[in-house]
Chains A and B, each alone.
Chain A
Amino acid sequence: MINRNPQLDEQGALQHLLTTEGLPASILLQILDTAESFVGVTERDVKKVPLLRGKSIFNLFFEPSTRTRTTFEIAAKRLSADVINLNIAVSAQSKGETLLDTVNNLSAMNADMFVVRHSQSGAAHLIAKHVRSDIHVINAGDGSHAHPTQALLDMFTIRRYKQDFRKLRVAIIGDILHSRVARSQIHALTTLGVPEVRVIAPKTLLPRMVERLGVHVYHDMTQGLKDIDVLMMLRLQSERMKGANLPSQEEYFKYYGLTPEKLLLAHHDAIVMHPGPMNRGVEIDSAVADGKQSVILPQVTFGIAVRMAVMSILAGQSVARSAE
């Protein structure tokens, strides 16, 4: 039995942001458009707006992360919210408290929003299902399932550089199997009308029936990069580099690492993206990462604006609700 999309309310508006899957293009575009207005804010001297004044946002990181947590924290602070960072990987859970107990305790502290990262797929859905209806949940990465704000900032970046999604060929390259980023990117790209999304990886790093997500599968960079406008590299976790997934870092780099030579196979003005942190010399050559086609640093900047947009849309909705 498939229920209503759990991240939308009865009116079809965004209640939580858990995944890009199943979200209509109108909501994705609303987030991107709202983010445009925040890019200006982040470039000002006084980088604050009072939209979320008095709101409490809890960063619940059940899995270590510096970068994502920091960007959420900056985004919340620029919206004037109070931010509480909890590094739960080393606190309550290690004392045996369950995920929902932790969440219920924090809800009792009058939280307005949870930003959740967890090593298990589905953790954010679970929390969203059990929190009070006035609390919003943002998934900041759950297992191999979803990382919607990363995908949205990628979409924002693509739109900035390439304008029309409907004319693009996009390739996602690397460890698709374990990547929550790739899954969220695929759903966002196909929803926004990108006509051709390719995944390029050895068979050990591709999930079964991945083509059902609407992508074309390639195992060879030479064929896969032909006529590509956007290259989305994925981070290869170091623990995947040995053992049964891949024989060695060197062999991976030789066949799937993005070098200036391989980049020449793509469209001449293709852009190169990476969600970070990068493994230079493993999935990407420094000459590409720092080259003129790289938009990796702008991605980070836009990430703050996109997260501000998501938070303000979710919070704005509860303002509208309490006014009802």
Chain B
Amino acid sequence: MIKAKWWIYQIGIPLVLLYAFPWFFNNAHTIHVAQTFLITYIVIVGLNLLVGLSNQLSLGHVGFYAIGAYASAILTMKVGLNFFASILISALIAAVFGAIVALLSLRAKGPYLAMVTIAFGELVSIIANRWVDVTGGPAGIKTSVPSLFGFELGPIQYMWFIGLLAIIFTAGATNIFRGRFGRTFTAFGNSEVASEVLGINVRKWKILAFSVSAFLAGVGGGLFAFQNQFISSTTFELNLSIMFLIAVIIGGSGTKIGPIIGTVVIIGLPQFLHNFVDYHLMIFGGILLIALILLPDGIVGALTKLSFFKKFSSKKVNTELGILHDDREATIDLPDGISGKLLELQNISMHFGGLKAIDDVEIEVLGGTVHGIIGPNGSGKSTTVNVLSGVYMPSGGNLLWKGKNITKYAPHGIAQEGITRTFQNLQLFEDMSVLQNVMVGFHRHFKTGFLKNLLYLGQVSNEERYYAQKAYDLLRIVGLEERAYEKASDLPYGEQRLVEIARGLALKPDLLILDEPAAGASPKEIEKIMDVIQRLKNAGLSIILVEHHMDIVMNICDYITVLDFGKKICEGTPETIQNDPRVIEAYLGGEEVNQLVAGTKFVG
């Protein structure tokens, strides 16, 4: 049923529209504009994956577009390949450059990322301009009339051909959107660190996102090369990159039909401004500005906010994942317990410049226990958690996991080993529903690859449904099944913490690190959180609990380490800790203060 609907909406109707178009609007100009529209649309679909889903910024897409155009022109004219084959090859070349740009900009953010992409685009456009022997420079080079299997494609056939590709790519993009790949793109776009600790290799995924996006830009460029059978370097300038970005944002970035609307705006609107020779820049700029102010989420974003569409879209999520069962008992799925030493910190130090945030700390965590780490503010708890989860690389010492040295592992490597964590400063994937947040946690258990997801084979939808059910079960365990379809960022603070716990559990961890899970929660929520942790403990999960609330720590922990000024000051069972004078001193500033507070001593 769903499948049939998908075929009708994604393939059937667009095909009919595409086929019918030239019968109704048959003149050279409209056909040409339709071609331009479809070519640009393909580029926008790719850019939307990058900007909309993974929150990266590219102001250099014209570079990939140009590479696609020139490579396919050269492959056709000089090597003599068929035009379609050369477009595919040059799109792959563009994808390789996408990977290179991603590598260059891995650590760059915000305006820095913008500059990397601008510099890349400008570099390509300068090379296209100066390398006249190959590119023809601004005087341009001629390409051939596109032909397939010996048939020359006239303007209308070429439009159909581009349209067919556009439909195929749209279907692929939609499949990516609804599957685990889209989810992962969105996840690291929302929070890189949270994605990492859930086992997502963000570097690899960023490269993938850039490559896919560059591939589509390359296809667009290749198709463009044969549209007028002529290309010149003056086409490929920064302005075009900005236009592409305008289309993504104004259509509604990260939405499925945003690219169509956005492309209509950047290709369609200027068609009506031809007559305003002296004012067209102003009118376009004005409309753009007003649209951005009135519809900050883009046109599609604004529409989905209307209640009618909202109902429609939330229902859709429900049906796509199939029916989630409430009847079966939800059980926590955990790996076999390990007794003995699970994790060892050997002489771990972490220095920031001259500051020793933690200094020569040794901790042993035993399997099946809840190990508390406490200490006053600035004692190095957070730093310890960051070192344990791989977010920081320790300055000295070793981290042993089941006897294996994991000191140099990246967070996603540590997650693959079965350690994950929650965050004191919440790191939820804000653009996703609660259920999807938890589904990201299953990342390392998913098996289907990119191609299968692109085609959304039965295997993929089975997998999706299976893990949706599992995620739903986890939400039932933490008591959030009612909230499954709400946006994660709309939940109250305490419930957001529970979502993080559920998300961590999805990894099926051997060790779960809870970083202040009760901070900022209301007393009622704290009770709920405590209850959840208690149940996890009963189920045999090994936990490291970093917490301020003494009642939680003392009630739940089997063993406690106390840090102060980056050093371990004592260790032991809750009883030992409670009575240790060093702890009291660390927390309350010494015996004297303690006496003052207790009223046994007076000032004066």
A and B associate = no
CB within 8 Å of A: which residues of B?
A: none
